Amino acid sequence: MDSILLFIGFLFELQITCFIEKKMQNTILKLSDKLPLTCSRAGNCCHGNKVLLNPWELACLAAEKKISAREFRDSYTEWCGVRLLFNGAVGYNGKQACSQYAVGTGCSVHVARPLACRLFPLGRQIQNNETIYMHQGTEFPCLDGCEEVLKLPHISVAEYLTEQQTGNWELAQNAYLEAIQLLADVAFELLLDSKLAESGDKKTLQQWRLMEKETPEQLAERIGQKWLDSLTVPDLTANILKPQLFCEQHVIRLQEQMQASFGNAQTLEELHDAAVLVMALALLLSVGVGAEPELLVNHWIDIAKSNGAQE
């Protein structure tokens, strides 16, 4: 392989970021919909929830805590850096608080809180380039434990997004969605634009298939510590105020590392290993932005097969 180029541009459809369970029925919202979106500050949603992180969000949290991203990842996240650890004091409904929750004062990283926290109780989905906001279920989620919100001012979804300053966080999320696609493009190039698929190789798609059900830890094991660090804790704090630039620089670093590691891959084995590694990178990153690896893998395998690869 002489160079790493974009091979196939395609959009994957589903991404939800927030505490929303993906398989539940959701209520789709218009930006003008008025809802009881004034938070009672009871902190209920900071207990027993799931907050996913992209690398920029992780860097922001670390900067707010004045520690390195690596230290933050190792101390306060699980799933190898793509999910906040909820190992705080037991509180609402007997559930453990987020690692960033301080009893009595609330979120200790408020200005750097991730998009999932800014949006809650809303969720966000990107479908065919369109951003859709929603909440989980048919009943407004805060009513389960924070019924007092009904007495607080109702505001529109658009007003809520402004109030929560989601702008940069949404930009980062979008940028990382594109980054996932760029990584997948490299995996496609390694498989389809080399002699690998042509050789009748089936192992590569079989390994991609296996990855659809792998945990973040298993994906991390596939890529090894060096790639995990490059993926989750890039040293790019100089760009922290500009999420798109941060992500762009991150992708460039990853591409440079790929070029150095397997830009000259020649044998089928080398090409296979590289295509599997890059797909694992894309999938681990996809977990952090709330995409479903299973859907992505199926989608990507279908595309690979329709371009001549075999499973």
- Residues in contact with ligand SF4 by CB under 6 A are 39-40, 42-46, 51, 84, 98, 100-101, 107, 109, 113, 117, 120-121, 142, 146, 149
**Which residues are CB-neighbours of 202 under 8 A, at least 6 positions away?**
310, 311
Give the nearest distance from C-beta 54 to ligand SF4 in angstroms.
14
Side-chain half-sphere CA neighbours of 48 within 13 A: 7
Identity of the residue, 140 or 176, whose beta carbon is nearer to ligand SF4 in the bound complex? 140
Minimum distance from residue 138 beta carbon to ligand SF4 (Å): 17
* CB closer to ligand SF4 out of 42 and 303: 42
Question: CB of 131: closest distance to ligand SF4 in angstroms?
Answer: 20
Of 44 and 173, the one with the shorter C-beta distance to ligand SF4 is 44
Distance in Å from the first CA to the final CA of the chain: 22
Query: Please, what is the minimum distance in Å from the beta carbon of residue 83 to ligand SF4?
Result: 11
Q: Which is nearer to ligand SF4, 40 or 255 (CB)?
A: 40
Tell me whether residue 45 or residue 186 sits nearer to ligand SF4 (CB atom): 45
Q: Which is nearer to ligand SF4, 85 or 245 (CB)?
A: 85
Contact 59/69 with Cβ under 8 angstroms? Answer: yes
At its nearest, how many Å lie between ligand SF4 and the CB of residue 216? 19
- 138 Cβ neighbours under 8 A, 6+ residues apart: 25, 27
Closest to ligand SF4 by CB, 123 vs 293, is 123
Q: How far is the CB of 40 from ligand SF4 (least distance, A)?
A: 4
Q: How far is the CB of 201 from ligand SF4 (least distance, A)?
A: 44
CB of 249 to ligand SF4, least distance (A): 25
Nearer CB in complex with ligand SF4: 38/307? 38
